[in-house]
Amino acid sequence: VPRVFTYPELHEATKGFSKKIGSGGFGSVYEGVLPDGSRVAVKRLENSNQGRRQFKVEVKVIGSIHHKNLVRLKGFCSQRPCYFLVYEYIANGSLDRWIFKAKAAAAALDWDTRFRVVEDIARGLAYLHEECSTKVLHLDIKPQNILLDESFGVKIADFGLSRMVEQGEMSTVMTMIRGTPGYMAPEWLQLRVSDKLDVYSFGIVALEVATGLQALHTCVSCETSPRFLAAWGYMKLRAGEMVEMVDAKLRKEIYESTSRRSQAERLLKIGMWCIQPDPRQRPRMVEVVKMLEGATPVMDPP
């Protein structure tokens, strides 16, 4: 159960908020150490309506759920003027650092690790959608919100935009569009919200992990990295060359092993299914888990 921290405790733990390890629209994240020696990440939310709302949502959502692929909320502090959330510290940082940013670090993630990362994300989302007493829609799945522990196990983080929906309720209507361009399904524009939004974002992330390219790739001049992964995926699928989409650094691994090759094809096809424009054609996350495990065959996407 998350505990209540005082402001002085957090000030002490973070040495006066001296080591910033991340920042976003919500505020900043600092590294800290509690008196028992455990490392924590302390998120300071701005004192705005948005900040207060995110604080309440995160405490309510993450405080009540437990799964090995979801980041654990250790506690919080709501002493004005700031709101703080205290999480377990996740050693290897966010997924984007390992698949896009540093060329040196990216080499460290081999195919088997990448495939396991995608499976972990799928399991975490399947739990949120189907196994919680109240269904949780994350609504901001992207590599920056996927954290990796010391053994590259996944911890899904940042539930500030998430929504809780009664199980059985198919969708809910939002009052405003939130999320990150490139990872947002087309039906966001009608403000229809269902678990299929997370499925779409997951599909984009799965394709990014396999290819090492970003969804809205800014490199316009490179022939091999079109602006949208989806368009490229369809082109390669029709040409029967899906495996060529895999990150160039991993191709040797893939081509040398039949099992990895079929795994790569499976993962890429699942990614394509998840980003179907019609949400009804996208699989549920529990089905995605079965497909990734090889328990359910994966047909060619339409």
Cα separations in angstroms, 275 against 198, 205, 280, 285? 10, 10, 11, 13
The answer to whether the beta carbons of residues 184 and 138 sit under 8 Å apart is: no
52 pLDDT band (50/70/90 cuts)? confident
Which pLDDT score, from 0 to 100, does residue 192 have?
A: 76
Question: Among 3.30.1020.10, 1.10.510.10, 3.40.1550.10, 3.30.70.141, what is the CATH number of 95-293?
Answer: 1.10.510.10
- In the CATH hierarchy, which fold is given to the domain comprising 3-88? Phosphorylase Kinase; domain 1 (3.30.200)
Residue range(s) of every CATH 3.30.200.20 domain in the chain: 3-88
Residue 173's pLDDT band, with cuts at 50, 70 and 90, is low
Look at residue 106 in the predicted model and tell me its pLDDT: 54
pLDDT score for 229 = 76
Amino acid at site 237 = L
Q: Per-residue pLDDT for 28 more than 60?
A: yes
**Which comes out higher in pLDDT, residue 3 or 221?**
3
- pLDDT tens, residue by residue, 136-170: 999 999 999 999 999 999 999 988 777 877 666 66
Task: Please tell me which residue, 172 or 73, carries the higher pLDDT value.
Answer: 73
Answer whether 227's CB lies under 8 Å from 168's CB: no
pLDDT at 39: 97
Mean pLDDT over all residues of the chain?
Answer: 86
Q: How far is CA 144 from CA 85, 276, 277, in A?
A: 18, 23, 24
pLDDT of residue 218 exceeding 80: no
> Which among 137, 140, 98 is positioned nearest to 116, based on CA atoms?
98
* Confidence category of residue 105, pLDDT binned at 50, 70, 90: low
Q: Given pLDDT bands bounded at 50, 70 and 90, which one contains residue 126? A: very high
Instruction: Say which of 110, 120, 140, 158 is annotated catalytic.
Output: 140
List CB contacts of 144: < 8 A, sequence separation 6 or more: 24, 94, 95, 96, 158
Say if strands 135-137 and 73-77 run parallel, antiparallel, or are unpaired.
unpaired
The C-alpha torsion from 129 through 130 and 136 to 137, rounded to 10°, is: 20
DSSP label at residue 208: H
- Does the pLDDT of residue 225 top 60, yes or no? no
| Buried b / exposed e along 273-295 (16+ C-beta atoms within 10 A) | bbbbeebeebbebbbbbbbbeee
Question: Is the confidence at residue 279, as pLDDT, over 50?
Answer: yes
List every span in the chain annotated with CATH 1.10.510.10: 95-293
**Is the preceding omega at residue 81 within 30 degrees of 0, hence cis?**
yes
User: How large is the average pLDDT for residues 273-298?
Assistant: 96
Render pLDDT for 247-273 as a digit per residue (tens, 0 to 9).
888 989 999 999 999 999 999 999 999
Highest mean pLDDT among 103-107, 177-181, 188-192, 265-269: 265-269
Percent pLDDT > 90 in the chain is 56
112 has catalytic annotation: no
Residue 175 amino acid letter: T
